[in-house]
């Protein structure tokens, strides 16, 4: 067993850390307050090759491994989780889904520009559309329909909570093609945002990751060419589940980064803030909090890296990615709350960053499968 990172992985980690400090930190408080999508940061991430990190170079990607992706996600999430969620969706849901299950034509047409994050010099990213107003955790209860009309499908329905919903050019949309078949009657389609019948509602006003671009998207008689279905007829739900297993490594790494960011701030603050004649780190109640944060974050990091390693080794990583996501997101929430506590009153105001990290942490327990859903996946996996 080897816990050392390679030279290349260390280089990517450093590049992501520098990017987070120099490109994401400036303006992060204002973007959060104004709910401003970090367009400049995402465009620069595309230029760094961080929007298609794990995509083969022949399709415009950076050809990196999943471990490098975890390292980069952690560093960027320490500073701005609104940037990292956009990065996670594009990399591990959209690009991965197309690379693993798309046809050669779909890869040439869509994957290549999505992996570069740019087309004709403009931002070109994707969104993943499984959730609906009446179907979140209960994802097989899709109501969006795609009627087979011969050469094309006619798509009707509503998807909500869609990350990158307003900025994405390409959507991967799950829809029912045959309700009677249950999960086997679901297909996934590649839909372009500018096609007639696609309507994007206003951006959601959220508790955290406020810069990220979350929208409801409606489809009214959208004509989707037959060749835009991904995989064989009825593969759409399996596609969603298999793709989400990788996506959960991305969100686990995001949660890890939020936790690590909050911990680093708390540790530095505890070294300088004085109370009762000494730095607060010398009060055991504070020192023990920092010890627990350090330990939990290390455990979360190991779970993330193990899941990433299993994915890179082409092993089954379904349980590992759910364990990483569950543990890292619970750690992020707990650590961020305790980091605010370590800061006392200063933790409650914006300029110390930890209140934002606390608000951002919450979503990691909800999206890409709530903590309860991760327990469903893990328990079914270990008991089957």
Q: What whole-number distance in Å separates Cα of residue 269 and Cα of residue 338?
A: 13
Q: Contact 255/328 with Cβ under 8 angstroms?
A: yes
Q: 14 vs 17, 45, 63, CA distance in Å? A: 5, 14, 18
Q: What whole-number distance in Å separates Cα of residue 304 and Cα of residue 71?
A: 9
Each residue 90-129 as x (binds ligand FAD by CB under 6 A) or -, in order, gives -------------------------------------xxx
Minimum CB–partner distance for residue 140 and ligand CAA (Å): 4
Minimum CB–partner distance for residue 59 and ligand FAD (Å): 22
Two tokens at 200? 């994007």
Q: How many CA atoms lie within 13 A of 143 on its CB side?
A: 11
* Buried residues in 189-209 as b, exposed as e (16+ CB within 10 A): bbbebeeeebebeebbebebb
Should residue 189 be labelled a site residue for ligand FAD when binding is judged by CB under 6 A?
no
Among the residue ranges 95-103, 220-228, 241-249, 353-361, the one whose residues contact ligand CAA (CB under 6 A): 241-249
Two tokens at 280? 């607060």
Question: Does the CA dihedral 227-231-237-240 come out positive or negative?
Answer: negative
Size of the site for ligand FAD (CB under 6 A): 22
Q: Which does 372 bind (CB under 5 to 8 A by kind): ligand CAA, ligand FAD, none?
A: ligand FAD
Minimum CB–partner distance for residue 30 and ligand CAA (Å): 23
Instruction: Just list the catalytic residues.
Output: 368
Should residue 89 be labelled a site residue for ligand CAA when binding is judged by CB under 6 A?
yes
The residues that touch ligand CAA, with contacts defined as CB under 6 A, are 85, 89, 128, 130-131, 137, 139-140, 163, 183-184, 237-238, 241-242, 244-245, 318, 367-369, 373, 376-377
The residues that touch ligand FAD, with contacts defined as CB under 6 A, are 89, 127-131, 136-138, 161-163, 206, 214, 363, 366-370, 372-373
């Amino acid at each position: 067993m080897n816990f050392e990172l390679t030279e290349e992985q260390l280089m990517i980690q450093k590049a992501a850390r520098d990017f987070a400090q120099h490109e994401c930190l400036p303006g992060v408080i204002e973007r959060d307050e104004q709910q401003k999508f970090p367009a400049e940061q995402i465009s620069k991430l595309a230029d760094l090759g961080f929007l298609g990190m794990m995509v083969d170079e022949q399709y415009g990607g950076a050809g990196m491994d999943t471990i490098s992706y975890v390292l980069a996600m952690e560093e960027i999430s320490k500073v701005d989780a609104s940037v990292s969620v956009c990065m996670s969706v594009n990399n591990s849901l959209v690009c991965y889904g197309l690379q693993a299950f798309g046809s050669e034509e779909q890869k040439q047409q869509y994957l290549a520009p999505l992996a570069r994050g740019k087309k004709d010099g403009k931002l070109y990213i994707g969104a993943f559309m499984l959730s609906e107003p009446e179907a979140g955790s209960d994802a097989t209860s899709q109501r969006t329909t795609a009627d087979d009309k011969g050469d094309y499908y006619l798509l009707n329905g509503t998807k909500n909570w869609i990350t990158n919903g307003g900025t994405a050019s390409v959507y991967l949309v799950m829809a029912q093609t045959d309700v009677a078949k249950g999960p086997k009657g679901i297909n996934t389609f590649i839909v372009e945002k500018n096609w007639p019948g696609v309507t994007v509602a206003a951006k959601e006003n959220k508790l955290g990751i406020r810069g990220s671009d979350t929208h409801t998207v409606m489809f009214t008689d959208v004509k989707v060419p037959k060749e835009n279905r991904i995989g064989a007829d009825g593969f759409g739900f399996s596609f969603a589940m298999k793709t989400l297993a990788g996506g959960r490594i991305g969100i686990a790494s995001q949660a890890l980064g939020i936790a690590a960011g909050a911990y680093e701030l708390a540790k530095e603050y505890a070294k300088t803030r004085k109370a009762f004649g000494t730095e607060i780190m010398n009060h055991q109640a504070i020192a023990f909090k920092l010890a627990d944060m350090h330990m939990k974050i290390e455990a979360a990091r190991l779970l993330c890296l193990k899941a990433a390693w299993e994915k890179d080794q082409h092993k089954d990583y379904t349980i590992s990615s759910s364990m990483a996501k569950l543990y890292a997101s619970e750690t992020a929430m707990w650590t961020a709350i305790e980091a605010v506590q370590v800061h006392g009153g200063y933790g409650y105001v914006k300029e110390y960053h930890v209140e934002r990290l606390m608000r951002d942490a919450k979503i990691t327990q909800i999206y890409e499968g709530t903590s309860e859903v991760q327990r469903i996946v893990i328990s079914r996996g270990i008991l089957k």
